[in-house]
Structure 1
Amino acid sequence: MRNHRILTLTSVQNEKVKAFASLLEKKHRDRSGKFLIEGVHLVQEALLAGAAVETVVFDAERGIPNELEDLLAESSCELVEASPSVMAKCTATDTPPPVFGIVAKPDVDRQTLYGEDSLVVVLDGVRDPGNVGTIIRSADAVGADAVILGRGCVDLYNPKTVRSTMGSLFHLPIMEGDLAELLPEAKQHGIRLIGTSLQASDTCYSYDWRGAAWLLLGNESSGLSDQTLVQVDDSIIIPMHGRSESLNVAMAATVVLYEALRQRRYLS
């Protein structure tokens, strides 16, 4: 391995351990520009994607997971073995994972958002970590260009959000930003802003998703904010023929994104 040595941490009072554990809180993530990833799959995805993994910590009693040995052999990240008590202090799950990592938050080049055929998902006040994670996974699955989390959304780097992305966090640009600034900027680049509305005349299937389009999705209970609604260019509705009153925001996002994919990639 490139690591000259493996650091051993056994005490939860160690300053390095306290620094790791502090990343469970948003204020410390914001201050440090770093976040935690938990479990073999997320660490594996981060390393495969070339994310800025600074440290990988594994349970000394269980050893380095087999799935990570080759990746860590090629990585220059710090490698730490830790006692089970340290693993428990630094992770947010009831059963501590065998490994966790410390990753630097990425910088997103805003110009990547404004491509002539860009498909971007914009979240406005979506607060449930599971919904945000599922939307990011769906955006990744259809090959969307980016996801934007506006103010009022759950923290992207909340451990629950990170886990719910299942690694898709590392596969496409995701940024947190001020929609009051980003949406008018998108319009200046000729991008259509599309929201959902029960009063829309276009369905998600009749609407033309080809060309640059940003899909705007609002809060689970109240929808898009008034400030965002005034920026919407076009509205669509997801047709429903059964008795269900509505889809949750993550399901709605997935339905619409796959229709956009169908039109963009599979129309002859």
Structure 2
Amino acid sequence: MKQITSIQNTYIKQLAQLKDKSRERKKSGTFLIEGEREISLALKGGYEFETVLFYPELFSIEQLNELTTPQTNVIEVSKEVYQKLAYRDTTEGVLAVAKSKTNSLNDLTFENKNPLILVAEAPEKPGNIGAILRTTDAANADAVIIANPKTDLYNPNIIRSSVGCVFTNQIATASTTDIINFLKAQNINIYCAALQASVSYHTQDYTKPTALVMGTEATGLSNEWLENSTQNIIIPMQGEIDSMNVSVAAGILIFEAKRQREFK
């Protein structure tokens, strides 16, 4: 088994770039996954690993066998090397170098004849994206589509805040125009969370093919979405403010859709 003990090692320097820079992740088509649960979920999600690195004082060979095959490239690293690559303060001693997926609209497949999709337009905060992915996983949504993404899906903050749900959801990214065309071609109703010309969210029927579309808290949805909406919907506010966190709003809407479908 190969061992690397120096943080000056060329390969370790390359991996550190993957951790820190979106440009390097996109150029190489690879990214880092940290933690046993996250790596396990990526395996279940069909991700391919180039390498698994582990620090033996924190992660045993026996544990490693659960995440690898005889063909997996495995590297034992020193404490200093692991600390250079690890993103979290509380860590488990194992990392994987995984190949990115294309996350194209053309890759989406729906086994459900009435798919339930969550669309988020231009979300910027990795924490919000991660929280949305946790929610859609909990609801077993058919897909998450991110319009005009501002950050790449394999940002360590998204992986961490989603607790690995970036690997359990079916995800695509595309422009707003392409997503609208895709939804219309699939005969999927578009419900836009917006203040303009809206009705209360619980009055609509989400038991048919449905896309719930969320904008940012600061600017809301672009006009293109509002012009192509089946119906704009709103979550009535009863306090002093007129909006809530996008991930919280997404949870309310998607679980209303699930409730309707369970009691149809």
> CA offset at residue 114 of structure 1?
9.7
Whether the 8 Å contact between 1:52 and 1:106 is mirrored in structure 2 is: no
Q: Describe the shift of the 1:42–1:65 C-alpha distance in structure 2 as closer, same or farther (beyond 3 A).
A: farther
Whether the 8 Å contact between 2:108 and 2:143 is mirrored in structure 1 is: no
Match of 2:29 in 1: 33
1:192-240 C-alpha deviation (Å, 9 max, x unpaired)? 1111122444322111001111111112311112333333221111123
Letter in 1 for 2:16: A
- Please list, as runs of the form range in 1=range in 2, the aligned pairs for 1:53-132 lying within 5 A after superposition: 53-64=49-60, 68-72=63-67, 74=69, 76-94=71-89, 97-108=92-103, 109-112=106-109, 116-132=113-129
Say whether residues 1:263 and 2:260 are aligned partners: yes
Whether the 8 Å contact between 1:204 and 1:236 is mirrored in structure 2 is: yes
Whether the 8 Å contact between 2:198 and 2:231 is mirrored in structure 1 is: no
Match of 1:219 in 2: 216
Whether the 8 Å contact between 1:40 and 1:65 is mirrored in structure 2 is: no
Give the stretch that moved more between structures: 250-259 or 42-51: 42-51
Say whether residues 1:164 and 2:161 are aligned partners: yes
- Please list, as runs of the form range in 1=range in 2, the aligned pairs for 1:135-150 lying within 5 A after superposition: 135-150=132-147
Q: Describe the shift of the 1:188–1:73 C-alpha distance in structure 2 as closer, same or farther (beyond 3 A).
A: closer
1:236 pairs with one of 230, 233, 257: 233
Q: Describe the shift of the 1:35–1:15 C-alpha distance in structure 2 as closer, same or farther (beyond 3 A).
A: same
3-state SS of paired residue (2:202): coil
Give the stretch that moved more between structures: 139-148 or 241-250: 241-250
1:88-137 C-alpha deviation (Å, 9 max, x unpaired)? 22233345541111111124443526964111111111111111011111
> CA offset at residue 246 of structure 1?
2.4
Q: Describe the shift of the 1:73–1:218 C-alpha distance in structure 2 as closer, same or farther (beyond 3 A).
A: closer
Whether the 8 Å contact between 1:48 and 1:71 is mirrored in structure 2 is: no
Which runs of no fewer than 5 residues in structure 1 stay unpaired? 1-5
Say whether residues 1:193 and 2:193 are aligned partners: no
Count of residues in correspondence between the two structures: 261
Say whether residues 1:249 and 2:255 are aligned partners: no
Say whether residues 1:18 and 2:13 are aligned partners: yes
> CA offset at residue 74 of structure 1?
4.1
Whether the 8 Å contact between 1:134 and 1:165 is mirrored in structure 2 is: yes
3-state SS of paired residue (2:208): coil
Q: Calculate the TM-score normalised by the size of structure 1.
A: 0.88
Letter in 2 for 1:33: G
Q: Let me know the Cα RMSD of the aligned residues.
A: 2.3
Counterparts of 1:214 and 1:220 in 2: how far apart (Å)? 19
Sequence identity percentage: 33
Counterparts of 1:121 and 1:93 in 2: how far apart (Å)? 29
Say whether residues 1:9 and 2:4 are aligned partners: yes
3-state SS of paired residue (1:93): coil
Q: Calculate the TM-score normalised by the size of structure 2.
A: 0.89
> CA offset at residue 13 of structure 1?
1.8
1:47 pairs with one of 43, 46, 68: 43
> CA offset at residue 44 of structure 1?
2.5
Q: Describe the shift of the 1:46–1:185 C-alpha distance in structure 2 as closer, same or farther (beyond 3 A).
A: closer
> CA offset at residue 244 of structure 1?
4.6
